[in-house]
């Protein structure tokens, strides 16, 4: 995760202090370290155990190794039987459209998520986004807030992920959640629309539609110079002396137009 993502995750966890949290997709335990530090009990899901993810390192974490699409519904059933509620979930496991959709629908279908903050990683990615777009959010009455661009991801310029869209957090709140007013979807352009437009423009070779930052700074400087020049003229003696002439000229123009 990038520094901004880690900061957002940390901020949410610090403000919530979850009693029960779930992480789907643990890998080397980077995000789990944060979730575990601020939660009382955590359930972690991953296909396999990474060497650095040990029970000693994560004393308050119960590990579930295997496919989340099989293991998560089983855990949710057990938690529901025990009338346990889940405060926080990070969805960062199966990144296929089908997989993301499935994890979220399983979570939302459970009575354990009546008042839950769900953070979804990599929401700028096309496949993740496709999964999210397929979910009938309105079918889940408890869902009070959905924003796929809560934190916008990145289009990579170079390296292994060159020209790929990754990162970003989506935020879903059920019930009271963080205590914010209930809103469905933020009414702004979605990040993929903007990135797609950029990629299409770059393919056509006409990316440079707007001035560079250097040009903006230069133009700003020019405007300031012109303002100073105009102010000096208006304050000058000759300008004040010729004011009656300009007023007479305006009056004559008006009379001629009649």
Ligand X SMILES: C[S@@+](CC[C@H](N)C(=O)[O-])C[C@H]1O[C@@H](n2cnc3c(N)ncnc32)[C@H](O)[C@@H]1O
Per CB under 6 A, contacts with ligand X among 26-45 are: 26-28, 30-31, 45
Contact, 93 vs 22, CB < 8 A? no
8 A C-beta contact, residue 51 and residue 130? no
CB–CB of 184/145 below 8 Å?
yes
Tell me, residue by residue from 90 to 109, as one string, x for binding to ligand X by CB under 6 A and - for no binding.
Answer: --xxx----x----------
Q: Least Å distance between CB 65 and ligand X?
A: 8
| 68 near ligand X, rule: CB under 6 A | yes
Residue 25 in the binding site for ligand X (CB under 6 A): yes
Q: Is 69 in the site for ligand X (CB under 6 A)?
A: yes
Per CB under 6 A, 62 contacts ligand X = no
Binding mask 196-235 for ligand X (x = CB under 6 A): ----------------------------------------
The answer to whether residue 8 forms part of the interface with ligand X (CB under 6 A) is no
Write out the two tokens for 84: 């346990």
Nearer to ligand X, 68 or 144 (CB): 68
Q: From the list 1, 16, 41, 80, which residue makes contact with ligand X (rule: CB under 6 A)?
A: 1
Q: Which of 35, 39, 46, 174 binds ligand X (CB under 6 A)?
A: 46
Could you tell me how many residues of this chain bind ligand X (CB under 6 A)? 17
What phi and psi values does residue 144 have, to the nearest 5 degrees? -110, -15
Positions touching ligand X (CB under 6 A) are 1, 25-28, 30-31, 45-47, 67-69, 92-94, 99
């Amino acid at each position: 995760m990038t520094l901004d993502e880690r900061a957002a995750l940390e901020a949410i966890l610090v403000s919530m202090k979850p009693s029960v949290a779930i992480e789907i997709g643990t890998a080397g335990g980077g995000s789990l370290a944060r979730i575990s530090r601020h939660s009382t009990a955590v359930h972690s899901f991953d296909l396999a155990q990474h060497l650095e993810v040990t029970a000693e390192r994560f004393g308050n974490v119960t590990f579930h190794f295997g496919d989340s699409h099989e293991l998560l519904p089983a855990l949710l059933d057990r938690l529901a039987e025990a009338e346990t509620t889940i405060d926080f979930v990070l969805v960062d496991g199966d990144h296929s459209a089908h997989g993301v959709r499935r994890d979220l629908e399983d979570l939302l279908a459970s009575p354990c998520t009546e008042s839950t903050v769900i953070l979804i990683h990599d929401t700028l990615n096309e496949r993740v986004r496709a999964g999210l777009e397929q979910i009938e959010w309105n079918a889940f009455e408890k869902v009070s807030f959905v924003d796929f661009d809560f934190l916008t991801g990145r289009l990579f310029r170079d390296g292994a992920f060159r020209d790929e869209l990754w990162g970003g957090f989506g935020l879903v709140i059920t019930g009271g959640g963080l205590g914010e007013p209930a809103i469905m979807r933020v009414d702004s352009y979605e990040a993929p629309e903007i990135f797609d437009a950029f990629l299409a423009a770059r393919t056509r070779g006409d990316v440079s539609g707007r001035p560079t930052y250097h040009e903006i700074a230069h133009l700003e400087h020019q405007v300031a110079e012109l303002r100073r020049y105009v102010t000096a003229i208006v304050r000058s003696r000759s300008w004040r002396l010729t004011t009656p002439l300009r007023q007479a000229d305006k009056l004559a123009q008006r009379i001629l137009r009649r």
